[in-house]
Amino acid sequence: MSVVRTRFAPSPTGFLHIGGARTALFSWLHARKHGGPFVLRIEDTDRERSTQASVNAILEGMTWLGLDYDEGPFYQTERFDRYREVIQSLLEQGKAYRCYCTREELEALREEQMRLGIKPRYDGRYRDHDGPPREGVEPVIRFRNPLDGNVVFDDQIRGRIAISNTELDDLIIARSDGTPTYNFTVVVDDIDMNISHVIRGDDHINNTPRQINIFRALGHEPPVFGHVPMILGDDGKRLSKRHGAMSVMDYHDLGFLPEAVLNYLVRLGWSYGDQEVFSVDEMIEKFDISDVNKAASTFNTEKLLWLNHQYIMTGDPQHVARYLSPHMGRAGIDPSDGPTLTDLVVGLRERARTLVEMAEKSRCFYQEFDQYDEKAASKNFKPEAKPVLESLHTALSAVSPWSGETLHQAVQDTAEALDLKLGKVAQPLRVAAVGGPISPSIDVTLELLGRERTLARIQRAIHWIEQRQASASDS
Ligand code: GLU
């Protein structure tokens, strides 16, 4: 069996976006599934639009997602000598030729073709030129495309595709300044890097027949292709900045776990029965490039949130805590001043769909709140709540060890002793503890808050009730 080698070949003109990440993932999975290497190639021949910052952003995105590569990154700009050498040999074999058409001539040709209602294309006028070089014109180099026959390939996603060579004109493979063009460098690289499977976005599908002809001219059979359909926003239009977060790292910033994003991406256009949650090992085992949908898929943020929540709830709390940590910093919370992040994750994981949400919900466990939620305070801090809070203070002072179970018991005992329903005791306690009516269960809340903070906050609430009473009797 021949060895599988795949590659991801981004152009470094921006961040790693969701579509690129999915292409990389499919390519990576295909390599991992077959035990072959995954190559990273940076297609940076467009020097004006390529930046080092973008290379870094792409590497950062891949690292965050865990898409590790075995070879590379190879930079096309470091391979110009090689491209020159291949162009030279094509020229010598008559498989490429110099074209001296000026821009004006090409423009005139185009206008004429439009006028006649035919598809604009280069007419091959220098194909058989054997006179001297044309004075004053730096030539481009064109590939001598076959004039007849069809290019046929079996795309692993799209099925059989056949294009007549009469549809393809003689492609420029080197510009007049000598720099090679995309369709040519891709082929040289895919040959030199021994790529067996090219998995890429279907925006390249029209390039493929041209590339196949170049492969053959260079004496190689083309690799197997799989063109991945595009991703649409929830309005049915091609996913773009208008739809909000586009970069993989935006999802990091929004509080997603990488495994949730990876899981979301693998399901975008691929399925395995009705299974939704896949560990990376399961993806590798079950993924098959030929099961990827032909049709475009629609991005669904709700589903991504759902998956993220699944991973937050079921993930190892220590692992989740590690990813939560930067979000605490961003929220201005010092995690050393309260419960451990692992305890926090266990306490809040049912209630937070993102790590940003979790950090926000954790604030009251690390910092004092400014004031009580007004409605909750007037409802729960009536004069009769004062003795309840006092009894709770006494009971909770004696609790040992400070654990969910013992705390639950203490609150329950207090309610029984005062002959009150549990809610009449727990709700004032909750408002005292976190400042508002919403928090995890009271035992979890108090456990996270710790003894010292809990008792101080009960005191604060008692004090608030006393002041309220005093000002009421003054007026
Ligand atoms: N550099 C191309 C892009 O970023 C990909 C080319 C390929 O995968 O063949 O769209």
Q: Give 2's pLDDT tier (boundaries 50, 70, 90).
A: low
Q: From 26, 62, 200, 224, give the residue whose CB has the most ligand 1 atoms within 8 Å, as the site to mutate.
A: 200
43 lines ligand 1 (CB under 6 A): yes
Identify the CA nearest to 345 among candidates 330, 331, 366, 325.
Answer: 325
Strands 231-232 and 297-298: parallel
Mean model confidence pLDDT for the chain: 96
User: Residue 32: is its pLDDT beyond 90?
Assistant: yes
11 lines ligand 1 (CB under 6 A): yes
302 or 243: which leads in pLDDT:
302
Out of 119, 241, 286, 424, the active site residue is: 241
303 is known as an active-site residue: no
Specify the ligand 1 atom closest to the Cα of 186: 9
**Alpha carbons 292 and 394: distance in angstroms, whole number:** 63
Identify the CA nearest to 290 among candidates 186, 163, 223, 199.
Answer: 199
pLDDT at 140: 97
Q: Give 8's pLDDT tier (boundaries 50, 70, 90).
A: very high
Per-residue HEC secondary structure of 399-413 comes to CCCCCHHHHHHHHHH
Specify the ligand 1 atom closest to the Cα of 190: 9
pLDDT at 453: 97
The string of DSSP letters for 74-91 reads EEGGGGHHHHHHHHHHHH
Using the mean position of ligand 1's atoms as its centre, give its distance from the Cα of residue 427 in Å: 59
Specify the ligand 1 atom closest to the Cα of 203: 10
Q: What is the mean pLDDT of residues 239-258?
A: 89
Separation of CA 372 from chain center: 39
What confidence tens digit (pLDDT) does each residue in 299-343 have? 999 999 999 999 999 999 999 999 999 999 999 999 999 999 999
Query: What is residue 441's three-state secondary structure?
Result: coil
Options 1.10.1060, 1.20.120, 1.10.8, 1.10.490; CATH for 316-367 is: 1.10.8
268-to-242, 271, 298 alpha-carbon distances in Å: 19, 8, 8
339 lines ligand 1 (CB under 6 A): no
User: Residue 217: is its pLDDT beyond 80?
Assistant: yes
pLDDT at 47: 87
pLDDT at 106: 95
Using the mean position of ligand 1's atoms as its centre, give its distance from the Cα of residue 214 in Å: 16
- Show the tokens assigned to 198: 């090219």
**Alpha carbons 159 and 157: distance in angstroms, whole number:** 6
Nearby residues of 332 by Cβ (< 8 Å), 6 or more positions away: none
Q: From 7, 8, 11, give the residue whose CB has the most ligand 1 atoms within 8 Å, as the site to mutate.
A: 11
Q: What is the assigned CATH class of domain 241-315?
A: mainly alpha
**Alpha carbons 133 and 24: distance in angstroms, whole number:** 44
Specify the ligand 1 atom closest to the Cα of 43: 1
What confidence tens digit (pLDDT) does each residue in 38-69 have? 999 999 998 899 999 999 999 999 999 999 99
204 lines ligand 1 (CB under 6 A): yes
16 lines ligand 1 (CB under 6 A): no
Query: Given the structure tokens 């069809």, which residue do they identify?
Result: 150
Using the mean position of ligand 1's atoms as its centre, give its distance from the Cα of residue 198 in Å: 10
207 lines ligand 1 (CB under 6 A): no
177 within 8 A of 138, measured Cβ to Cβ: yes
pLDDT at 203: 93
- What does the radius of gyration of the chain's CA atoms come to, in whole angstroms? 32
- Show the tokens assigned to 437: 């009516």
Q: What is the mean pLDDT of residues 404-415?
A: 97
Separation of CA 93 from chain center: 45
10 lines ligand 1 (CB under 6 A): yes
Q: Give 246's pLDDT tier (boundaries 50, 70, 90).
A: confident
User: Residue 1: is its pLDDT beyond 60?
Assistant: no
Q: What is the mean pLDDT of residues 74-102?
A: 97
pTM: 0.92
30 within 8 A of 228, measured Cβ to Cβ: no
232 within 8 A of 38, measured Cβ to Cβ: no
pLDDT at 436: 95
**Alpha carbons 24 and 21: distance in angstroms, whole number:** 5
Nearby residues of 358 by Cβ (< 8 Å), 6 or more positions away: 255, 312, 324, 327, 344, 345, 348, 349, 352
User: Residue 120: is its pLDDT beyond 60?
Assistant: yes
197 lines ligand 1 (CB under 6 A): no
**Alpha carbons 324 and 358: distance in angstroms, whole number:** 8
Strands 140-143 and 150-155: unpaired
**% pLDDT > 70, the chain:** 99
368-474 in CATH: which number? 1.10.10.350
- How many Cα atoms sit within 13 Å of 121 on the Cβ side? 13
pLDDT at 293: 95
Q: What is the mean pLDDT of residues 230-249?
A: 85
CATH architecture assigned to 80-228:
3-Layer(aba) Sandwich (3.40)
User: Residue 425: is its pLDDT beyond 90?
Assistant: yes
What residues does each domain of the chain span?
80-228, 241-315, 316-367, 368-474
142-to-98, 171, 376 alpha-carbon distances in Å: 6, 5, 76
Specify the ligand 1 atom closest to the Cα of 7: 8
186 lines ligand 1 (CB under 6 A): yes
Q: Give 244's pLDDT tier (boundaries 50, 70, 90).
A: confident
47 within 8 A of 77, measured Cβ to Cβ: yes
Identify the CA nearest to 225 among candidates 284, 292, 149.
Answer: 292
What confidence tens digit (pLDDT) does each residue in 150-159 have? 999 999 999 9
Helix or strand run (H / E) with residue 97: strand 96-99
CATH topology identical between 241-315 and 368-474: no
Query: What is residue 217's three-state secondary structure?
Result: helix
Strands 38-42 and 96-99: unpaired
